[in-house]
């Protein structure tokens, strides 16, 4: 009997197929190497590419804000005012000014969550501004106030220009928005003088602030020129910061914003200047003549100084955001708007609150602030939650999808769009 194995044909030969040939291992290795080249685009011996870290021109575009309280978000907690219930206007609560998980990075900078920097539209925001900031850093007080310079005490306290440089080196900063100069004109002291003169002089013998020497000294030609020079220098510091971070001048834009009018002219107040109602109820203690001076002289002088500092700085990558009349019709104590209780409203979340309440925070004194209250004196006469969300809309329009433009910001309608007042930039 023959063996069964000797009489069986191979499977290949039984169906007419050619036997498979073994592929040498070296060929397989060469094929694998070729496949790697084709899929990676790299040639043999070429180092593998490394991922580029975010920085100039790389990564999600950032908007960065620098400057003072009119851009940091001061008063951004409050959506209007009420003398009967702070909760009615409390839009953001007690952590409104926290810019870290556990509190403020710099005490009393008041970088609010409603600040204009967070425009979305494919960008991220970084708020480096600080309430109370001047062009130069002030480290002498109880609270550090970083200016638009390169101050560094070696203990972690740095100026805003240096902070911008550090941030921009590792993030793709495309738009820097700045508000600066008001405190170099001693804005807070001027307001305090005007309110004190209103409270401590009778209506039949008015003591105006517009002609007080402590006020007029801020608006002499010599001081205006000095402040213009400081602002221009602060702009050049921002340019230096960006250059040091690796940016060409045409790789980013500086958007310079002016200051808005916070109170109406005399004819626009809803409270008479007689008696104390204008301050005790409205929190807007200005005599009529002082209110007219503030709108007709002081504000234009400050804003013209800011705008002239742009050309004095020599920067060519600037745009201007004009906010001078942005809140007209919604200003503090203005006719047409009012306190929550005056308008029959109980909460900032009610649909008509944005159109019926004020967009500027009341001026508070020690008798209406701080002791057993959630208010800060430094919030006085600042754009509140509504105004900051309105400005955010105009900054987004200025961003213009990455092709920044300037213009004049103004109210364009009633109600909210995406949680923001209806605004236009023209």
Handedness of CA 396, 249, 152, 101 (dihedral sign): positive
Rounded to whole angstroms, the Cα distance separating 85 from 319 reads 41
Q: How many CA atoms lie within 13 A of 402 on its CB side?
A: 9
CA 188 to chain CA centroid, Å, is 20
Share of the chain above pLDDT 90, in %: 85
Is residue 35 pLDDT above 50, yes or no? no
The widest CA-to-CA distance across the chain, in whole angstroms, is: 141
Q: List pLDDT tens digits, range 70-99.
A: 999 999 999 999 999 999 999 999 999 999
pLDDT higher for 358 or 33?
A: 358
Contact by Cβ (8 Å): 423, 394: yes
Q: Please tell me the total count of domains within the chain.
A: 1
Tell me the CA distances in angstroms from 30 to 26, 44, 390, one per residue in order: 6, 12, 64
Say if 149 falls within a structural domain. yes
Residues 371-404 have pLDDT tens digits of 678 999 999 999 999 999 999 999 999 999 999 9
Cα 31 from chain centre? 57
Sheet with 253-257: strands ordered across = 124-127, 61-67, 172-179, 253-257, 318-322, 407-417, 420-425
Higher model confidence: residue 166 or residue 50? 166
- Check the CA dihedral 147-151-155-156 and report its sign: positive
Query: Tokens 């009349």 identify what position?
Result: 325
Whether 24 is in a domain gets the answer no
pLDDT tens per residue, range 307-343: 999 999 999 999 999 999 999 999 999 999 999 999 9
List, as one string, the DSSP characters of 241-260: HHHHTT--GGGSEEEEE-PP
Q: Model confidence at 53, in pLDDT bands (50, 70, 90)?
A: confident
Residue 43 lies in a domain: no
d(CA 332, CA 254): 30
What average pLDDT does this structure show over 274-290? 96
Residue 55 lies in a domain: no
Q: Is residue 314 part of a domain?
A: yes
Structural domain span for residue 386:
61-425
Find out whether 182 and 259 touch, Cβ atoms under 8 Å: yes
Q: Rounded mean pLDDT of the chain?
A: 90
* CATH number where 99 lies: 3.40.50.1110
Confidence of residue 20 (pLDDT cuts 50, 70, 90): very low
Q: Contact 167/173 with Cβ under 8 angstroms? A: yes
pTM score = 0.88
3-state secondary structure of 145: strand
Nearest to 136, CA basis, from 64, 229, 234, 242: 234
CA distances from 395 to 61, 148, 296 (A): 14, 21, 26
The verdict on residue 181 lying in a domain is yes
CB 322 within 8 A of CB 407: yes
**Sign (positive or negative) of CA dihedral 54, 400, 306, 381:** negative
Nearest-10 crossing angle of helices 299-313, 221-244: 50
| pLDDT exceeds 80 at position 34 | no
Let me know if residue 1 belongs to a domain: no
The rounded percent of the chain whose pLDDT value lies above 70 is 87
What is the pLDDT, as a whole number, of residue 366?
76
Q: What is the pLDDT of residue 371?
A: 67
In-domain check, residue 106 = yes
Of the candidates 132, 125, 99, 94, the one whose C-alpha atom is nearest the C-alpha of residue 113 is: 99
Q: What is the pLDDT of residues 109-119, one digit of tens each?
A: 999 999 999 99
217-237 average pLDDT score: 98
């Amino acid at each position: 009997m023959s063996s069964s194995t000797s009489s069986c044909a191979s499977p290949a030969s039984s169906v007419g197929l050619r036997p498979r040939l073994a592929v040498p291992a070296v060929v397989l290795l060469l094929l694998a190497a070729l496949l790697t080249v084709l899929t990676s685009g790299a040639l043999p011996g070429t180092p593998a590419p490394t991922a580029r870290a975010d920085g100039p021109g790389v990564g999600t575009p950032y908007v960065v804000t620098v400057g003072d309280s009119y851009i940091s978000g001061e008063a951004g907690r409050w959506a209007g005012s009420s003398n009967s219930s702070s909760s009615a206007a409390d839009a953001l609560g007690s952590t409104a000014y926290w810019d870290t998980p556990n509190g403020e990075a710099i005490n009393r900078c008041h970088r609010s969550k409603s600040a204009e920097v967070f425009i979305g539209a494919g960008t991220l925001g970084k708020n480096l501004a600080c309430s109370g900031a001047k062009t130069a850093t002030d480290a002498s007080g109880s609270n550090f106030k970083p200016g638009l310079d390169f101050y560094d005490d070696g203990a972690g306290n740095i100026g805003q220009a240096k902070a911008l440089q550090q941030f921009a080196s590792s993030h793709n900063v495309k738009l820097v928005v700045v508000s600066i100069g008001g405190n170099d004109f001693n804005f807070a002291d001027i307001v305090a003088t005007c309110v004190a003169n209103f409270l401590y002089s009778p209506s039949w013998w008015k003591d105006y602030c517009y002609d007080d020497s402590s006020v007029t000294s801020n608006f002499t030609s010599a001081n205006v020129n000095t402040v213009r020079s400081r602002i221009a220098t602060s702009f050049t510091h921002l340019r230096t910061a960006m250059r040091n971070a690796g940016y060409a001048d045409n790789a980013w834009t500086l958007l310079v914003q002016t200051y808005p009018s916070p109170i109406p002219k005399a004819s626009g107040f809803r409270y008479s200047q007689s008696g104390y109602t204008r301050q005790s109820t409205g929190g807007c203690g200005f005599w009529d003549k002082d209110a007219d001076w503030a709108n007709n002289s002081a504000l234009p002088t400050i804003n013209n100084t800011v705008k002239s500092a742009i050309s004095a700085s020599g920067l060519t990558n600037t745009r201007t955001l004009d906010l001078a009349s942005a809140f007209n019709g919604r200003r503090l104590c203005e006719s047409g708007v009012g306190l929550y209780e005056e308008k029959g409203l109980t909460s900032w979340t009610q649909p008509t609150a944005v159109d019926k309440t004020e967009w500027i925070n009341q001026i508070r004194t020690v008798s209406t602030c701080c002791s057993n209250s959630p208010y800060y004196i430094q919030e006085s006469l600042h754009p509140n939650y509504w105004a900051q969300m309105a400005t955010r809309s105009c900054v987004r329009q200025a961003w213009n999808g990455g092709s920044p433009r300037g213009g004049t910001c103004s109210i364009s309608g009633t109600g909210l769009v995406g949680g923001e007042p209806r605004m236009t930039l023209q």
